[in-house]
Amino acid sequence: MQLNHPANVAVIGTGYVGLGTAGLLAHIGHRVTGIDIDQNKIDMLLRGEVPIHEPGLDDLLSSQGDRLTWTTDYSAVRDADVIFICVGTPPGLDGTPDLQYVVSAAASIAEYLNGNAKVIVNKSTVPIGTGDYVQRLLEDHTRAFDPTRHFVVSNPEFLREGTALGDSLYPDRIVLGGQMEALEIMTQLYAPLIDQTFSPPKGAPRPEWFTRPAVIKTSLQSAEMIKYAANAFLALKISFANEISGLCERVGADIEEVAAGIGMDQRIGQRFLQAGLGWGGSCFGKDTQGLISAGREHQYEMPILQAAIDINYRQRRVIIDKLLRHLKTVKGKRVTVLGMAFKPNTDDLRDAPTHDLISQLNRLGASVTAHDPIAMKRAEREWTHLNYTPASSIQEAFERADAVILATEWDDYMTMDWNPLLATMRRPLVIDARNVIRSPINALVEQVGRDAPRGERR
């Protein structure tokens, strides 16, 4: 099948992945309709507002003109050559991914399938076998499904929140799983991305070192597994660094030196060896659990992944223990948490380590103040069950605090002048849960897995 260029594309789900996908596909020349069941989100998008915080996304979306439209009406699927499913797959109670949004998206797509050839692309992270399952759902929901003209493809997403634009425009690899004929259509769809023939958008210049992405064509199952295995491996690396960091503290070694030393080995690599509070966000926890539950379904244990999860959650307690070592008790003490989002440059609070920190501090009777440059409004809506006082400024966050925990390494915190702020605290105690404070400050600084370099502590 020869794909028209520009192609008509429907993107189902306008969250972190759907918005990035819609923006990218419009930017490389296609006509894109973003569809969501959340009327509020669509209304915002129609008004030119972006419902999430992602650097550069506003400009990318607003510069697409007629190529990009938004609706809650699934009938746009009728004219689409390619349909991307980008809905959420949150973990169920037992860690198994909840596929209800994928199922309902597939049912809604089925209503508008006709004789026209289409590729239905699953970009959501789903259990291995979901591609076949989606095909069966489509077959069950409509007689129009024709396996010689309708194809299901897996095209997992590897973007990171906070750097989503660069990750989507200049990816290491594009993974495509499914039947060869469908993968050929996907290759045509992505041709401007693969050949890098598009002009970089404002705010996302092409890195000098970047040439073109690798295109990896696999079976549906392998593509689905690649996504899970990639996230699980990255999570594992962080937990490994955290496990080693605990021993570093006990034997007088410094995890930063150790990580640099092992990371220089090209077989290991420098990245994702950062000790600290551990991973968070909507993907690592969910996907490691998802893989374990896939193993469970096949009576196959995955002890390495379970250990990675356990170590990750232990790290949150490690930070509280550091606090208690200095304060003895936090009951009635004012403890400030700097950073609420799970990482800088996003407003995403899903599985943010700060959530656990605040709830542990609540249990211990601390009086918690929290600050985040972007995610605070969202926290006010989503973290109503936690007890904390939102600080309206960094200054307010420091005033009269008995301790400050640096939980998210936002630029605002990395570039602020610490000493005048520390002077307003009751006692200058800083728990640097991300190991990012490099210069001496007038405080007792606790980091993870290391003795602070001489002269950095008072």
Was 25 annotated as part of a binding site?
no
> Shortest gap between Cβ of 20 and ligand NAD (angstroms)?
8
Least distance to ligand NAD, CB of residue 445, Å: 31
Q: Write out the residues near ligand NAD by the rule CB under 6 A.
A: 12-18, 35-38, 41, 86-89, 101, 104-105, 108, 124-125, 157, 159, 161, 282-283
Please give the C-alpha separations between residue 142 and each of 78, 110, 112, 145, in angstroms, as whole numbers.
Answer: 13, 6, 9, 6
Is 145 a known ligand-binding residue? no
Maximal CA-CA distance, the chain: 74
Q: Minimal distance in Å, beta carbon 159 to ligand NAD? A: 5
For ligand NAD, the closer CB: 13 or 177: 13
Which lies closer to ligand NAD via its Cβ, residue 285 or residue 449? 285
Shortest Cβ 51–ligand NAD spacing (Å): 8
Ranked by CB distance to ligand NAD, the top (closest) residue is: 15
Known binder of ligand: residue 197? no
Q: Any binding-site annotation on 275?
A: yes
Half-sphere exposure of 432 (CA within 13 A, CB side): 26
Supply 105's token pair. Answer: 């998206």
Distance from the Cα of residue 238 to its chain's centroid: 15
54 vs 432 by CB, closer to ligand NAD: 54
Active-site annotation holds for 283: yes
161 assigned to a ligand binding site: yes
Tell me whether residue 101 or residue 279 sits nearer to ligand NAD (CB atom). Answer: 101
Whichever of 168 and 435 has its CB closer to ligand NAD, that residue is 168
Say what the alpha-carbon torsion angle 251, 437, 264, 310 is, to the nearest 10 degrees.
60
Q: Confirm or deny that 36 is annotated as ligand binding.
A: yes
Smallest distance from ligand NAD to CB 282, Å: 5
Say if residue 198 carries a ligand binding annotation: no
CB nearer to ligand NAD: give 41 or 450.
Answer: 41
- Single out the catalytic residue among 86, 283, 404, 425: 283
Of 227 and 334, the one with the shorter C-beta distance to ligand NAD is 227
The three state secondary structure string of the chain is CCCCCCCEEEEECCCHHHHHHHHHHHHCCCEEEEECCCHHHHHHHHCCCCCCCCCCHHHHHHCCHHHEEEECCHHHHHHCCEEEECCCCCECCCCCECCHHHHHHHHHHHHCCCCCCEEEEECCCCCCCHHHHHHHHHHHHCCCCCCCCEEEEECCCCCCCCCHHHHHHCCCEEEEECCHHHHHHHHHHCHHHHCCCCCCCCCCCCCCCCCCCEEEEECHHHHHHHHHHHHHHHHHHHHHHHHHHHHHHHHCCCHHHHHHHHHCCCCCCCCCCCCCCCCCCCCHHHHHHHHHHHHHHCCCCCHHHHHHHHHHHHHHHHHHHHHHHHHCCCCCCEEEEECCCCCCCCCCCCCCHHHHHHHHHHHCCCEEEEECCCCHHHHHHHCCCCCCEECCCHHHHHCCCCEEEECCCCHHHHHCCHHHHHCCCCCCEEEECCCCCCCCCCCEEECCCCCCCCCCCC
Least distance from C-beta 128 to ligand NAD, angstroms? 14
Asked if residue 286 belongs to a known ligand binding site, the reply is yes
Q: How far apart are CA 66 and CA 360, in angstroms?
A: 49
User: Is 227 flagged in the annotation as binding?
Assistant: yes
In the bound complex, what is the minimum distance in angstroms from residue 35's beta carbon to ligand NAD? 6
> What's the token pair of residue 62?
């607003």
Question: Binding site for NAD(+), residues?
Answer: 36, 41, 89, 125, 161, 286, 350
- Known catalytic residues are 283
Question: Binding site for substrate, residues?
Answer: 158-161, 227, 272-276, 280, 343
